[in-house]
């Protein structure tokens, strides 16, 4: 489906912002391993931190297709910025909007939309990865009893994107329900919440990836999102939404790599003519465009499944459900990003291997998309499971 006039206008706004405010600083942020201090303020001013927040809670209430178009443009400017927005506006906001109580939504959604609180997701752990069934972080009820009592959280989460900037973290913890896992809305200002052990990553270096430690963190009963044994379901929902977001930002990386390759190929001369006139280079550019187009189509197909569920229809399981579509989109788009970025480096030749040129950073960032929100090996397993679900 072609974008509407309104969607094209919003996409153009995101493109101009990425071109003027993100891309010129991307290399410096990568080297400093930190985003500019005013980035989140600028995103909030444009409304891009409230894209998926309903209008009644201060957000823009974008549909999924519009949200994905913006993510793609932000990633074209800087993938680390897009990743932060994808986590904040994807799984965190969607879980709150769909499963939060009216009090929880009233407390958190306006703050998330305004950028007063940045959202983060804490699921993965050292020995369990992103498997919600195997987490060790614990949540126990305090002495107040089963009704209306507080919860006490203990454990350590790994690979939490934007942990130190976050004001709200959705923490998944094993509850004292039988085989229960709960999702908790944790205010990072609470005593016992600490961020430590920032990782040094290959790509997405400006996006903080850190450990979140919870030591006797006491939260009220109103911090529990939904029932105490629904966290496993919520975790899978969050991963589906997050994977579609990763697919969109992968498309942005892929586009950026192709654009740089085209520009360089038309400017670089060899044997008296631009290398863009050589058949070998033209073949590479054509194959790169093919992967950009395919990745975008699969991403928006998955976005349609997200929107169908938001609208109260569609399905999550099965070969054509959201889980399968999200995994297919994430798999295809992330592998396209790595392949296209690698080809861009090759077109640049020796210059592509240098940090003075942008394509080597794109290749490092692209590799991360093959790992985030489940490795691509996991994606293949998810897809096969959904294909065989009814057999």
* 173 touches 216 (CB < 8 A): no
Partners of residue 140 on adjacent β-strands: 152
200: left (phi over 0), alpha (psi -120 to 50) or beta: beta
Say which residue the tokens 């009820």 belong to: 141
Tell me which residue has tokens 């400093």.
Answer: 32
Backbone CA torsion sign across 167, 170, 174, 175: positive
Helices 359-369 and 231-267 meet at what angle, rounded to 10?
Answer: 160
Rounded distance, CA 36 to CA 247, Å?
24
Count CA atoms within 13 Å of residue 22 on its CB side: 26
d(C-alpha 234, C-alpha 240), whole Å: 10
| Alpha helix stretches (DSSP H) within 18-156 | 26-32, 39-46, 64-77, 79-87, 93-99, 102-114
User: Angle between the 39-46 and 5-17 helix axes, to the nearest 10 degrees?
Assistant: 160
Q: Which residues are the active-site residues?
A: 373
C-alpha 68/C-alpha 66 separation (Å) is 5
């Amino acid at each position: 489906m072609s974008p509407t006039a309104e969607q094209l206008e919003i996409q153009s706004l995101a493109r101009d912002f990425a071109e003027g405010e993100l891309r010129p600083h991307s290399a410096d942020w990568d080297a400093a391993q930190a985003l500019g201090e005013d980035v989140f303020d600028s995103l909030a001013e444009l409304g891009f931190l409230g894209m998926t927040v309903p209008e009644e809670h201060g957000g823009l209430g974008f549909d999924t297709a519009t949200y994905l178009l913006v993510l793609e443009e932000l990633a074209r400017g800087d993938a680390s910025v897009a990743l932060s927005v994808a986590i904040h506006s994807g799984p965190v906001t969607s879980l709150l909007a769909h499963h939060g109580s009216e009090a929880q939504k009233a407390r958190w959604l306006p703050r998330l939309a305004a950028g007063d609180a940045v959202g983060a997701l804490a699921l993965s752990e050292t020995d369990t990865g992103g498997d919600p069934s195997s987490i060790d972080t614990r949540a126990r009820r305090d002495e107040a009893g089963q009704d209306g009592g507080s919860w006490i959280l203990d454990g350590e989460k790994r690979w939490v994107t934007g942990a130190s900037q976050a004001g709200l973290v959705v923490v998944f913890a094993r509850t004292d329900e039988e085989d229960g896992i709960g999702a908790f809305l944790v205010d990072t200002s609470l005593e016992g919440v600490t961020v430590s052990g920032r990782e040094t990553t290959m790509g997405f270096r400006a996006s903080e990836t850190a450990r979140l430690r919870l030591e006797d963190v006491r939260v009220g009963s109103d911090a529990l999102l939904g029932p105490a044994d629904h966290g496993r379901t919520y975790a899978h929902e969050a991963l589906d939404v997050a994977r579609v977001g990763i697919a969109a930002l992968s498309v942005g990386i892929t586009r950026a790599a192709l654009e740089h390759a085209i520009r360089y190929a038309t400017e670089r001369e060899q044997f008296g003519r631009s290398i863009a006139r050589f058949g070998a280079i033209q073949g590479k550019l054509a194959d790169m465009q093919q992967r950009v187009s395919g990745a975008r189509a699969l991403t928006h197909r998955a976005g349609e499944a997200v929107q169908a569920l938001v609208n109260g229809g569609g399905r999550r399981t099965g070969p054509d459900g959201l889980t399968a579509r999200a995994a297919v989109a994430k798999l295809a788009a992330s592998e396209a990003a790595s392949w296209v970025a690698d080809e861009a480096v090759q077109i640049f030749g020796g210059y592509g291997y240098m940090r003075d040129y942008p394509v080597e950073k794109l290749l490092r960032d692209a590799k991360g998309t093959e790992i985030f929100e489940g490795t691509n090996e996991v994606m293949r397993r998810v897809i096969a499971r959904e294909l065989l679900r009814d057999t």
